[in-house]
Chain A
Amino acid sequence: MAGSEITSTEYIKHHLTNLTFGNHPVHGWSFAHNAEEAREMGFWAIHVDTMFWSLGLAVFFSYFFYKAAQKASSGVPGRLQNFVEMIVDFVENSVRGSFSGKNALVAPLALTIFCWVFLMNLMDLIPVDLLPYLLGEHGLHIAHFMRVVPSTDPNVTFAMAFGVFLLILYYSIKVKGVGGFVGELTGMPFQTDKLWLKPFTTVINLILEGVNLLAKPISLSLRLFGNMYAGEMIFILISLMYSAGWVMGIFGGTLQLVWAIFHILVITLQAFIFMTLTIVYLDMAHAEHH
């Protein structure tokens, strides 16, 4: 829907700007009118579109599963229950396969992550211009900016990964104790009996293990963010073709179809990877190495 008066760059930029509400140094608490204003708001700003869609999807997921859980019985399951149980069974198998400890949190955590990430990714399959158009200037006039795929917002992926990271730290310390955890960070992989060598190995180990530890949440969040951002970017680039004549339009339509079908695999895979890695990281946090 790139109108004749805006350029491709503006079109892409518009699509990549969140609906931001925050404290602007000049305008005070208000919605940002463009990307620059959003940046100037600094930390004290909130992406309303991201919050709306992610919370909406999470509420949808919670309500859906809560309803199924309320009606769950050991009798013959209905369709809803069958579907929900299929997912639960899948998650439970994944947890049982990767997580050796005993923790009542891990499986529900994995289920939440899988379903939530999947639903957020699923928003990517809605044509990129549909919702912004309906809610924007030409439609309901609600919002100037609208990014409907929450997992393309690094805030979302970093928040999830950070939550997992906190759990990793919590369970590492809970299971191994502070001493055990510090020992794990400093006593590996280089070990020595000579006292004068100890400080060197400790520092090197701390650097290596620290990177190892920090890489977990960063890789977790960047992998999801990167995949979804790139996927969305390609959808946006494809939709640029619609403004370049009907030949390009048909070609773009075909491309969009192909990319969307391929993307079904990507969004499922990304949700699965996020869940599996969370389980694995928590399993490592529970494991005694020595």
Chain B
Amino acid sequence: MNINLTLIAQLLSFAVFVWFTMKFVWPPLVKAMDERKAKIADGLAAAERGQHEQVLAQERATEYLHEAKQQAAEIKARAERQAAQLVEEAKEKAQAEGARQLAAAQAEIEQATNKAREELRARVAELAVAGAEKILRREIDAEAHKDIVEAVARQI
């Protein structure tokens, strides 16, 4: 309980410890804390900027998507139109081809008919002549009645 030399010793040590704190403890700690504060502030600002950019990017993406959809729809419509046109053309072509083949067949048939008719005509004439020859052999001279027989054959 006595006031003595301890007082002076304590005063000196107090001064030394305050000096020590002031020199080696306080400045680095405060510096680190301030630096971290600045870092955090920067980080927060960057995060906010990033968020803003993300919103913008999303908007842009939506826009692109919309555009792409529109384009796709357009392309689809065009393709459909083209396909219909192709089908139409093919149909026409087929019809034309069919008509042409039909015409050709008909012509061939007619030709064959004509040919057959010609042949028949020739045969009929021969047959008539042969028949007439048989008849006339008995009755008449073939040479003499030839013009009559031919006139008959021509009437077939």
Q: Taking beta carbons and an 8 Å cutoff, which residues of A are in contact with B?
A: 16, 18, 20, 22, 38-39, 41-47, 50-51, 54-55, 58, 61-62, 65-66, 68-70, 72-75, 77, 81, 84-85, 88-89, 92, 104-105, 107-109, 111-112, 116, 153-156, 158-160, 162-163
* Beta-carbon contact of A112 and B17 below 8 Å: yes
Given A58-B13, A108-B18, A160-B14, A69 contacting B4 (CB threshold 8 A) = no
* Beta-carbon contact of A46 and B4 below 8 Å: yes
List the count of A-B residue pairs having beta carbons below 8 Å apart. Answer: 130
* Beta-carbon contact of B1 and A108 below 8 Å: no
List residues of chain A with CB within 8 A of the CB of B5. 22, 43-46
List residues of chain A with CB within 8 A of the CB of B35. 74
Q: A189 to B4, alpha carbons, bound, how many Å?
A: 37
Task: Give me 13 A-to-B residue pairs in the complex whose CB atoms sit less than 8 angstroms apart, sorted by A's number.
Answer: A16-B1, A38-B2, A41-B4, A43-B5, A45-B2, A45-B4, A45-B6, A46-B9, A51-B10, A68-B25, A74-B39, A84-B29, A159-B6
B156 on interface, CB distance cutoff 8 Å:
no
Q: A262 to B5, alpha carbons, bound, how many Å?
A: 33
* Beta-carbon contact of A69 and B33 below 8 Å: no
CB distance from B30 to the nearest CB of A (A): 7
* Beta-carbon contact of B25 and A39 below 8 Å: no
Interface mask (B19-41 → A, CB under 8 Å = 1, otherwise 0): 01110111111111101101100
B15 on interface, CB distance cutoff 8 Å:
yes
B11 on interface, CB distance cutoff 8 Å:
yes
Which B-chain residue is minimally distant from A166 (CB atoms)? B11
B3 on interface, CB distance cutoff 8 Å:
yes
B151 on interface, CB distance cutoff 8 Å:
no
Which B-chain residue is minimally distant from A38 (CB atoms)? B2
B144 on interface, CB distance cutoff 8 Å:
no
CB distance from A22 to the nearest CB of B (A): 7
CB distance from B29 to the nearest CB of A (A): 5
Q: What is the size, in residues, of chain B's interface with A at 8 Å between Cβ atoms?
A: 33
Q: A45 to B1, alpha carbons, bound, how many Å?
A: 12
* Beta-carbon contact of A66 and B24 below 8 Å: yes
CB distance from B6 to the nearest CB of A (A): 4
* Beta-carbon contact of B28 and A109 below 8 Å: no
* Beta-carbon contact of B9 and A108 below 8 Å: no
* Beta-carbon contact of B20 and A43 below 8 Å: no
* Beta-carbon contact of B11 and A163 below 8 Å: yes
Interface mask (B126-145 → A, CB under 8 Å = 1, otherwise 0): 00000000000000000000
List residues of chain A with CB within 8 A of the CB of B25. 62, 65-66, 68-69, 108, 111
* Beta-carbon contact of B18 and A50 below 8 Å: no
* Beta-carbon contact of A159 and B7 below 8 Å: yes
* Beta-carbon contact of A92 and B21 below 8 Å: no
* Beta-carbon contact of B33 and A89 below 8 Å: yes
Given A160-B14, A163-B14, A163-B15, A153 contacting B6 (CB threshold 8 A) = yes
Q: A73 to B26, alpha carbons, bound, how many Å?
A: 13
List residues of chain B with CB within 8 A of the CB of A109. 18, 21-22
Q: A160 to B18, alpha carbons, bound, how many Å?
A: 11
Q: A14 to B32, alpha carbons, bound, how many Å?
A: 48
Of A18, A44, A116, the residue contacting B17 (CB under 8 A) is A116
CB distance from B28 to the nearest CB of A (A): 4
List residues of chain A with CB within 8 A of the CB of B38. 74
* Beta-carbon contact of A44 and B18 below 8 Å: no
List residues of chain A with CB within 8 A of the CB of B27. 69
List residues of chain A with CB within 8 A of the CB of B39. 74
* Beta-carbon contact of A88 and B28 below 8 Å: no
List residues of chain B with CB within 8 A of the CB of A66. 20, 24-25
List residues of chain B with CB within 8 A of the CB of A111. 21, 25-26
- Identify which of residues 39-58 in chain B touch chain A, using a CB-to-CB cut-off of 8 Å: 39
Q: A3 to B26, alpha carbons, bound, how many Å?
A: 48
* Beta-carbon contact of B4 and A88 below 8 Å: no
* Beta-carbon contact of A105 and B9 below 8 Å: no
